[in-house]
Amino acid sequence: MRRTFGDALSWCATGTDLFLGAVAGWGEEDYLAPSGLPGWTRKHLVAHVAANADALGNLVRWAATGEKTPMYASPQQRNADIEAGARRPAAELAAWLTSSAERLAAGIAGLDDDQRNAEVVTAQGRTVPATEIPWMRSREVLVHAVDLASGIAFGDLPAAFLTALADDIAAKRGGAAGPAVVLVAAGTGDRWELPGEGEPVTVDGPLAEVAAYLAGRPHTLTTSDGSLAPSLTAWL
C-alpha cells in the first residue's frame, strides 16, 4: 500500500478545502444545476458529502467508545437523507456541509493510537481499522469535488492521491466481472492489471485519466488501435 495515515489526513484536509471552496458563495441557482453524476443536482451531491461526514463520524464514535455505531441505519435511510438534504435551502445545506466536515475533523483528531486501530465496519460491510476513515473521506471530497462540475478536474488533484486511488480501485475491481485491462500511467510507469474476460487490452495515458477511468468518470483513454477504453462495471 503506497499511502500512510498521514497521507490520508493531508488529502482529507486538501479535499475538504477544495470542495468547500468550490461551493463557497453559491446560491440556489448554482446548487440546482446538474452535477457530474447522472440524475443528481449539485444539491444532491453536497447533501451526500455532508451526510457522509456524519456517517463517518459514526465510525469515529465507534472507534472512540467501542459502541457499535454503523455509518447508516440502512441503505434506504441513506438515500432518504440525501433526498431530504437536496430539498434544503442553499444556505442551510452549505451550513450542514461545513459543520459536518468540522465535526468529523475534530473527531478524527481526538482519537488516540489505540482508538485509531480499533476495528469498524464500513457501509459496504468491510471490517477495517479506524485509520482508514481519513482515506475514505479523502476519496469522497476529492473525487466529488470533480463531480461538482464546477471546473475542477482529476488533473487538479494531488498526484500521490491519484496513485493511491488507482491502487485502491484496481484492488477492488480485481474480483469483479468485466474486461481484462492493463493500465499504464504515462510518465510514471505505474501499472495496474484488471483480470477479466478475454485477452487483456493495454491502455496507457496520463495518471489523472487512468484514475478517472477506474473511478468510472469521463476520460480520454484509448487503446493502441484508437478505440475508447472498454467500459468497466460500477466501482462502488
pLDDT of residue 187: 85
Q: What is the location of CATH 1.20.120.450 in the chain?
A: 5-152
Global pTM reads 0.95
- Distance CA(132)–CA(117), nearest Å, equals 9
Residue 101 near residue 9, CB atoms below 8 Å: no
Nearest residue to 15 via CA among 137, 100, 141, 134: 141
CA–CA separation, 70 and 72 (whole Å): 5
- Predicted pLDDT at 196: 85
Q: Which CATH class is domain 5-152?
A: mainly alpha
pLDDT value for 28:
97
**Predicted local confidence at residue 193, as pLDDT:** 94
What is the number of other CB atoms lying within 10 angstroms of the CB of residue 72?
17
Fold of the 154-236 domain? Nonspecific Lipid-transfer Protein; Chain A (3.30.1050)
Q: How far is CA 140 from CA 8, 145, 208, in A?
A: 12, 8, 16
List all residues 6 or more positions away from 107 whose beta carbon is below 8 Å from its beta carbon.
57, 60, 61, 64
> Which residue from 48, 98, 55 is spatially nearest to 73, judged by alpha carbons?
55
Mean pLDDT by 10 residues, the chain (236 residues): 93 98 97 97 98 98 97 92 96 97 98 98 95 98 98 98 96 82 92 90 95 96 90 83
Name the segment(s) of the chain with CATH classification 3.30.1050.20: 154-236
